[in-house]
A = this chain, B = another copy of it.
Amino acid sequence: MTRADRPDPGDLDLQKQVCFALYAASRALTAVYRPVLERLGLTYPQYLVMLVLWERGQTSVKALGESLQLDSGTLSPLLKRLEAAGLVDRARDPRDERSVVVSLTPSGDRLREQATGIPRAIAEATGVPASELAYLRDTLRKITEAATAAPDKETT
């Protein structure tokens, strides 16, 4: 890290503000999704899983976890709830009995049509211009990447 990149003391407050803003914005945005998704009987994380399945048709739990950056402790019960709701099937892969393949039921596939209006509804509710969204997405990805690779500094 070069001298110029190292934050000076004046930045520390800014740093805290960004962390809290991120935390608050994430909760506020999922709160916008909540009533919309409720009509489909989905939570936001469940909706993310369905998005992956609608796009790929069939996915192992491992691949789902990599896409959404969630571990089995989160996904296992979530997938069991989706299965109980009749939206997905789970079956061991006969080629590798360790792997569980998640696939859409007819009901889960039909739900896709009801979900097509959701991104537009959210976009209208938040109303942030597309030009800013693209920059925001890129900055957030940068932060996620940096945070994921963060070395867990043991400052002794």
Q: Could you list which residues of chain A lie within 8 angstroms of chain B, going by C-beta atoms? A: 1, 5-7, 11-33, 35-36, 44, 48, 51, 68-69, 117, 119-130, 132-137, 139-144, 146-148, 150-153, 155
Contacts and interface: CB of A to CB of B under 8 A. Distances in A.
Contacts of A132: 139, 142
B26 A123 contact: no
A147 B125 contact: yes
Given A16-B51, A124-B6, A134-B14, A28 B151 contact: no
Contacts of A153: 36, 121, 124-125
A29 B146 CA distance: 9
A147 B133 CA distance: 14
A14 B128 CA distance: 12
A11 B143 contact: no
16 contacts: A6-B124, A7-B124, A15-B119, A18-B133, A19-B122, A21-B137, A22-B25, A22-B29, A23-B44, A25-B141, A31-B148, A32-B150, A35-B152, A125-B153, A127-B146, A128-B146
B31 A147 contact: yes
Contacts of A13: 119
Contacts of A143: 25, 28-29, 126, 128, 136
A79 B21 CA distance: 22
B26 A119 contact: no
A20 B23 CA distance: 13
